[in-house]
Chains A and B, each alone.
Chain A
Amino acid sequence: MTTKQLEHRDRVVIRFAGDSGDGMQITGSQFTNTAALLGNDLATFPDYPAEIRAPAGTLPGVSGFQVHFASDDIFTPGDAPDVLIAMNPAALKVNLKDLPKNGILILDTDEFNKRNLKMAGYDRSPVEDGSLAGYRLFAVPLTSRTETALAAFDNLTVKEKRRCKNFYALGMAYWLFSRTMDSTIESLKQRFAKKPQYAEANTVAMKAGYAYCEASEEFQVRYEVPPAPTKPGTYRNIMGNEALAIGLVAAAARAGVPLFYGSYPITPASDILQHLAGYKNFDVTTFQAEDEIAAIGSAIGASFGGAIGVTGSSGPGIALKGEAIGLAVMVELPLVIVNVQRAGPSTGMPTKTEQADLLQAVVGRNGECPVVVLAASTPANCFQMAFESVRIATKYMVPVILLSDGYLANGSEPWRLPDGVDDLPEVRISFHTDPKDFKPYRRDAATLARAWVKPGTPGLEHRIGGLEKQDQTGNVSYDAANHQKMVQLRQEKVQRVVADVPDLKVFGPDRGKLLVIGWGSTFGAIHSAVRLAQADGLKVAQAHLHHLNPFPANLGELLTRYDRVLCPEMNTGQLRMLLRARYLVDVQGLNKIEGQPFRVREVLTRIQEMAR
């Protein structure tokens, strides 16, 4: 056996790409879990088509999963892959443009037949025409090697054997980056507990891929990415939607009040409903409604009944919920509305990410209809912001819109776990029961919240509704002065939430040439770019908003401390518009509307232009 060389790397980006039926998502997730267990910092980005099974071998059917793992802090799934594993010609065609010259390219040559090449739009096979000469190419007949490795499995069909090829590829990736296969073997056992032959076949295929690299003359170098020196604690790898679901459950449990989640399936928010449906033993009720309007309606009804009503959707669904959000504003009941944003308008690109629903959240309803708007910045941060949404909604008796997006929903990162429930902030809820001098719209002096009264409480029977309310009594009122007063009260109530909004902190110099301000899932790309720029000696700082309405109290002053302000957004400039309108500051935009997250170098280039 030849002696293989071991090279050290600080960070590596691998992209698994194949047909949507090739199991690229599970392959990527397995690689991710292993990296997490080895202590690497990591970030992932799954990119898959909306069609469940687009025609096999076609360009729209290509599904990808990118994982960035490192021995130091990382904040994005990486701009470009160092390694591309392409399971067919279409996957190569779609992804090759991202692979830098000299990058590692692993191909399944069995799939590079005439039919597949034609479907991907290749006249000649790129494996043979020399067009891949600039890459470190490993052309391997993955499918037939997998079949050979599984020759002894009489209980599997040829088709079933071939389907294990993704694990053959995974085995190769494990060898290449000096990983162990233990956690994947264990996970296969659990996943196929009822069909052990599948667990075994995938394990054998994976080990064969590993052994092939070990034995083959082709593979001379393998890499090692040591663990990252992370903060002490217990960690797990978490995706945004799951973190968000757990955050809702934790907040309701902290309050000791049942959670009701009414939702209608929509990409990319459906996972929240699915996760919560599994948490029934936490006093959680899930309700799959007939449509988006019924989903929010049921949540409002549950809130009226004294539960924490939550609904979740994506942009098109939020548009349908608009009138009901107005009702919740008018009747001043707590409600959380989760918007896992996707590329719009209309149906747009359901599986692609965007943050273009900010203005919809802040102002997108009839009448003067203020709500609190929060936004999560990373997959693990979805937990914290979901928790915070419930806390604010119940403390102030207001609807809260929580913005996430497809990138956070399906992306993952290590989550440093809070030790226990007691580490979490208090969520104090008290239901009003005293009939003495009761008035439905009497308010708490500090928060302006009205009392939450559960139907069933004797002596407090009252009526609420969407017609304008008389101050204090809540009776229907068309009085001119009362309307002005009530509109202002509802506005003031949301504004007072600022008492629960921490001052915005900056990363970097507290004054200087350039402030880069963002919100939501752009955090990672902006943070990485700002760090690189700072290392380069530029006087640039980063501030990232989690509270979009109301803004943190110090925001206006903070914006004036820098010569210039840059706001990168995955929209045409919605936060920029709000900042300019509110603070009269000449904020500049960097706007990417491609359904894809920012690359670090895109932000960095702009920072360099503005801060030099």
Chain B
Amino acid sequence: MSQQAPVLDKKHFESDQQVRWCPGCGDYAILASMLKVFAEMGVDREKIAVVSGIGCAARFPYYVNTYGFHTIHGRAPAIATGLKVARPDLHVWVVGGDGDILSIGGNHFIHALRRNVTLKILCFDNRIYGLTKGQTSPTSEYGKVTKTTPLGSLDRPVNPISLALASEATFVARTADTWGNHFREVMLAAAAHEGSAFVQILQNCVVFNEDSWEPVVGRDQREENALFLEHGKPLRFGRNREKGIRIRGSDPEVVTVGEGGVTEADLAVHDEKDESLAYLLSRLDLPRFPAPVGIFHRVTGLVPLEKGIARQREEATRKKGKGDVRKLIHSGELWTVKG
């Protein structure tokens, strides 16, 4: 980021295109929050590129006045990787839905993460196919009745956080569309991360899967059902933060502080660097457990792909000298025919 961060506001990042999501769609809240996040990053708009795939979420770049690329279904992480490697100076964001990122683009998702290329991959996860009007998605619940699964889906859902961790992601987080402040904090942390960052955004599809995340995201229930992760803090939740997660061996359990001799000291403490803990947390879900939200995992100090590639180029140039095309053409065993 530049030395003197320009003072920018949300309006600066709005494009002139009419936003065309369904009224009440969670994407509106995401867009509004992201415009603020871009403004707060202190990077001017020409330095930002938003790359998306196909789906409702993937319309996102049209509504942001940065450089944008609405590509093809599932391939945004691959296209963004090429862009970032060619242009390490750009801030590259990838936007897609659960179908785009985790189904048709699942392979690219895995490989973008394991390469640790500095992309911010945002998955607007509403557990349904929206743009094609209501078919089961890779995050749809087992048994879910949709247009393509009238008797219930027989596919077990993928867990995006577990998958990201297994793909060696160095930044893995979860937030929700309407959580203005939490959303902002998670996104600014992702923006500052060097290496690949993945954020699952619990997003509401009002038309085809309304209130799918309500137990976790809703104002009334989130204190009971969401476990807000904070680095270095004990894992506590509940209306009065009276409950917590205790881990014995590798078995997590919900306990109540003050009951049965349980004190805060018995609770597990969140450590973003601890990969095993992050994986264990990624498996927690309703109804037995609260759903963790926030930053599951963050590792810093690893060389991201784009820097590694640039270094190898520099190193090769230092060792061999700047490439001379004539010499390259005239290499190998030569012979001359005199005129």
Contact B317 A281 (CB under 8 A): yes
Chain B residue, CB-CB nearest to A290: B111
Contact B80 A301 (CB under 8 A): yes
Distance between A188 CB and nearest chain B CB, rounded to angstroms: 13
C-alpha spacing A187/B69, complex, angstroms: 50
Contact A455 B46 (CB under 8 A): yes
A574 contacts partner chain B, Cβ-Cβ < 8 Å: no
C-alpha spacing A14/B107, complex, angstroms: 47
B338 contacts partner chain A, Cβ-Cβ < 8 Å: yes
Contact A297 B75 (CB under 8 A): yes
A558 contacts partner chain B, Cβ-Cβ < 8 Å: no
C-alpha spacing A36/B337, complex, angstroms: 11
Distance between A233 CB and nearest chain B CB, rounded to angstroms: 6
Contact B322 A281 (CB under 8 A): yes
Distance between B307 CB and nearest chain A CB, rounded to angstroms: 13
Chain A residue, CB-CB nearest to B328: A246
C-alpha spacing A463/B17, complex, angstroms: 11
B226 contacts partner chain A, Cβ-Cβ < 8 Å: no
Chain B residues near A183 (CB, 8 Å)? 333
Chain A residue, CB-CB nearest to B49: A455
Distance between B163 CB and nearest chain A CB, rounded to angstroms: 15
Chain A residue, CB-CB nearest to B321: A281
Query: A36 and B61 in contact (CB under 8 A), knowing A301-B81, A464-B68?
Result: no
- Chain B residues 64 to 79 lying within 8 A of chain A, measured CB to CB, are 65-72, 75, 78-79
Distance between A437 CB and nearest chain B CB, rounded to angstroms: 15
Chain B residues near A309 (CB, 8 Å)? 82, 86
Chain B residue, CB-CB nearest to A295: B78
A-B contact pairs, 15 of them (CB 8 A): A187-B333, A232-B339, A234-B336, A235-B334, A236-B331, A237-B332, A250-B329, A253-B323, A260-B85, A287-B309, A301-B85, A326-B72, A417-B330, A456-B67, A457-B46
List chain B positions with a Cβ less than 8 A from chain A.
15, 17, 44-47, 49, 51, 54, 61-62, 65-72, 75, 78-87, 89-90, 107-108, 110-111, 309, 312-313, 316-317, 319-323, 325-326, 328-339
* 15 new A-B contacts at CB < 8 Å, known A254-B325, A301-B51, A302-B82: A33-B333, A282-B328, A283-B323, A285-B313, A290-B111, A300-B71, A301-B86, A302-B86, A305-B86, A305-B90, A456-B90, A459-B46, A461-B46, A464-B68, A466-B72
Distance between B167 CB and nearest chain A CB, rounded to angstroms: 11
A537 contacts partner chain B, Cβ-Cβ < 8 Å: no
A306 contacts partner chain B, Cβ-Cβ < 8 Å: yes
Contact B61 A465 (CB under 8 A): yes
Contact A285 B85 (CB under 8 A): yes
Distance between A140 CB and nearest chain B CB, rounded to angstroms: 29
A143 contacts partner chain B, Cβ-Cβ < 8 Å: no
Contact A463 B15 (CB under 8 A): yes
C-alpha spacing A290/B85, complex, angstroms: 15
- Chain A residues 186 to 235 lying within 8 A of chain B, measured CB to CB, are 187, 230-235
Contact A465 B82 (CB under 8 A): no
Chain B residues near A290 (CB, 8 Å)? 78, 107-108, 110-111
Chain A residues near B85 (CB, 8 Å)? 260, 285, 287, 298, 301-302
C-alpha spacing A461/B85, complex, angstroms: 20
Chain B residues near A419 (CB, 8 Å)? 326
Chain B residues near A280 (CB, 8 Å)? 312-313, 316-317
Contact B337 A233 (CB under 8 A): yes
Of the candidates A36, A260, A327, A461, which one forms a contact with B45 in the assembled complex, judged by CB atoms under 8 Å apart?
A461
Contact B323 A287 (CB under 8 A): no
- Point out which of A37, A291, A294 has the most chain B C-beta atoms below 10 A from its C-beta: A294
A61 contacts partner chain B, Cβ-Cβ < 8 Å: no
Chain B residue, CB-CB nearest to A383: B329
Q: Mark A12-42, 1 if CB is under 8 A from B, else 0.
A: 0000000000000000000001001101000
C-alpha spacing A281/B323, complex, angstroms: 5
- Chain A residues 414 to 463 lying within 8 A of chain B, measured CB to CB, are 417-421, 454-463
Contact B333 A304 (CB under 8 A): no
Query: A417 and B329 in contact (CB under 8 A), knowing A235-B334, A285-B309, A459-B46?
Result: yes
Contact B313 A465 (CB under 8 A): no
